[in-house]
Amino acid sequence: MWPVELAWLARKSRSLSRIIEVGSYRGRSARAMLDNSDAHLWCVDTWNTPSDGKTGIISIKDFRAFKVNLKDEEARVNILKMRSARAAKILLELYGPCSFDMVFIDGGHSYGQVKADILAYTPLVKVGGIISGHDYGTWPGVAKAVRELVKGFSVVKSIWWATK
């Protein structure tokens, strides 16, 4: 993630109280949001993808790094170590629609995955809240799903976002 993108996350999270991050990896973007707000953060990730993209080594070390990187903020972080669709369903059941100030989608990058995440998480965003994500312009599937489903979106480097 580029410094301008981390700065955008920091700025946007300042006045928010409840944020969902889909795809947390090692916690760099989560850290930007937590360091610049009093928000509580729900981090959704399986942490079971290959950490090097080649060997298929399960990324237990990435989950450990995430936990270490956010250890001092664990009271404000809710970890949902599961697939995105299951987490969205659970969050909707627990909190109801329109309960979160922002959702940041950076999990799967295929068209189908991004489309499913946008459809699953948009109902959780409050009216006036932010639906957003990463890797627009980097992964063709991300751009296609966003163009198809998110009205009036803007782009900052490779972050896409819109107000609901």
Q: Looking at 56-65, 94-103, 124-133, which range is the least confident one?
A: 56-65
CA–CA separation, 31 and 44 (whole Å)? 14
Q: How long a stretch of residues is the chain? A: 164
Calculate what percentage of the chain has a pLDDT beyond 70.
Answer: 93
Domains located in the chain, CATH noted: 3-163 (3.40.50.150)
Neighbours of 40 (CB within 10 A): 18
Could you tell me the two tokens for 110? 């295929």
Tell me the per-residue pLDDT of 72-127, one tens digit each, with 9 for 90 and over.
999 999 999 999 999 999 999 999 999 999 999 999 999 999 999 999 999 999 99
Asked if the model's pLDDT at residue 58 lies above 60, the reply is: no
Residues 123, 149 contacting (CB under 8 angstroms): no
CA angle at residue 31 from 28 to 34, to 5 degrees? 155
Comparing 18 with 53, which gets the higher pLDDT? 18
CA–CA separation, 44 and 80 (whole Å)? 5
Identity at 9, one-letter amino acid code: L
Residues 128, 44 contacting (CB under 8 angstroms): no
At 154, the pLDDT band (50, 70, 90 cuts) reads very high
> Which residue, 127, 133, 64, 119, is CA-closest to 99?
127
Contacts of 108 (CB under 8 A, 6+ apart): 23, 84, 114, 117
Asked if the model's pLDDT at residue 21 lies above 70, the reply is: yes
Average pLDDT, the chain: 93
Asked if the model's pLDDT at residue 48 lies above 90, the reply is: no
Asked if the model's pLDDT at residue 161 lies above 90, the reply is: yes
**What element of type H or E holds 131?**
strand 125-133
> Which residue, 119, 163, 122, 159, is CA-closest to 139?
159
Question: Structure pTM?
Answer: 0.93
